Structure 1
Amino acid sequence: MSPSRIIIIRHAEKPTKPGDEPAIAGIAENGSCDKKSLTPRGWQRAGALVRFFCPLHPPPGFGLLPSIIYAAGAKTKDDSKRPTQTVQPLADLMQSQHVPFIESFGKDDLQAAMTEALTRNGIVLMAWEHHRIPDLAALLHPVPATPDAWPDDRFDVLWVFDHSADGWAFSQIAQRLLNGDDDTVI
C-alpha cells in the first residue's frame, strides 16, 4: 500500500508575537484568548478549507479529497493546537464518510507520522507546523526537490506530492481562499 498523493499544508494563521503591530490574538474554540490557537482569520481559513478539499460539486478529475487526515497534535501544554484546529472542521465533515483523523503524532514525530502515512491508500492530507514541513517532505523517497523553507508569512499554499513508479513528483497549489491570499506559490 502507498498513497497516490500526499498533500501537506501549514496550519492556518497564528497570533502575532508580543510587541508586533497590529496585535492579533489567538482564540480558542470557546472564544477565550489562547496563544496556542488560531486567530479569527485562521478560523476563517479552517472553515474555507472544508469546501476547498470537499467541494459540493467537484469537477472531473478532482484530486484533493483526502482519504485520511493527519494533524500535528498538541502533545504537551506548550504545543500549538493550530494544526488540529486547521483541519478539524474538514475532519468533522468527513467523519460521516469514515475518513480517519489522526492527531496522535507531535510536530517533531516526523518519521513516525510519515511512516504511518506511507502505509495508507488514496490521498493523505497532513497539517503541520511550517518549520517542520520541509523535514517532513524530506522523508519521501526519493526525496523530491522542494523549497528549503516555508516562509513565516504564508498560510495559503499546499505542497502536493504525487506518487508514480519513478517516485514522488512535487507541485504547489495556491489556495486563494481569503482576501489577501497570494496567487503565487513558495
Structure 2
Amino acid sequence: MPTKKSVQKKFPKTNLNLIILGDPGAGKATQAKYFAKKYLMYDFDMGRELTLLRQKSLTTDQIIKKSVDKGFLAPTKIVRDINKKIVLGLPKSKSILFDGHPKMIGEAKLISKYLKETKRSKPLVLYISIPNEEIIKRTHLRKGYSDTKFNRRSDDTISALKNRAKYYRKNIAEVVKFFKSNYTFATINGLGDRITVRKRIQKA
C-alpha cells in the first residue's frame, strides 16, 4: 500500500493528467467522469474511442469484433494508434484523464513515452480496489461490464468469473508495478457508494 498522502493537494487546477485504474466492477468510469468534468479534462475512454472508430470503418469494426468475440482485447496496433492520436494530438493545455486504461504493460510504457514527448506533467495514478467476492457480486448481478476484457457472457458461472478476474489482475499487475515505479500512485478502497469512494480519493 502506498504511503498516505493527500491526493487533493496533488490536484492542480491546470495541467493535470490523471490515470484511473481498478478492479472489474470497482466503479472506475463513474469516478473518471466526475473528475474529468470537475477539472475540465479530456475523458480518454478507450472503449468509447474504439466504438467511434468502428462506426467510421466497416473493416476496422470487423477486425475489432473478431478479436473481442474471441475474448481478447482490441488489436494492439489499433489501440496504439488511438493513444498516439489523443496524447500527441490534444493541445498541451488540455489535461487528460485516462479512464480505465492502460490495461497492458506495453500500452502503459507507450503512454508514458508520449507524455514525455509532449512534455506533459507526470500523471497521478489511482487504483480503485475491491475484494474478489465483490468483483464477482457486482459483475454477476448486472448485464455487462464496460471494460472489453470483462464483459459478462450469458454462459458465465461464478467459477468462470473468478478465473477471468484472476487473469485480469495478473495482466494489470505489471501495469501497476510500472506506474508505482514512475509516478505518484495511490490505492483506493472501492467499497461503498460513489460519494464515499470519491471522498476517499480526495482524502487518501
Bigger radius of gyration: 2
TM-score, structure 1 normalization: 0.36
Question: Would you tell me which structure has more helix in proportion to its own residues?
Answer: 2
Which has the higher relative contact order, 1 or 2, with Cα contacts under 8 A spaced 6 or more apart?
2
Question: Would you tell me which structure has more strand in proportion to its own residues?
Answer: 1
TM-score, structure 2 normalization: 0.34
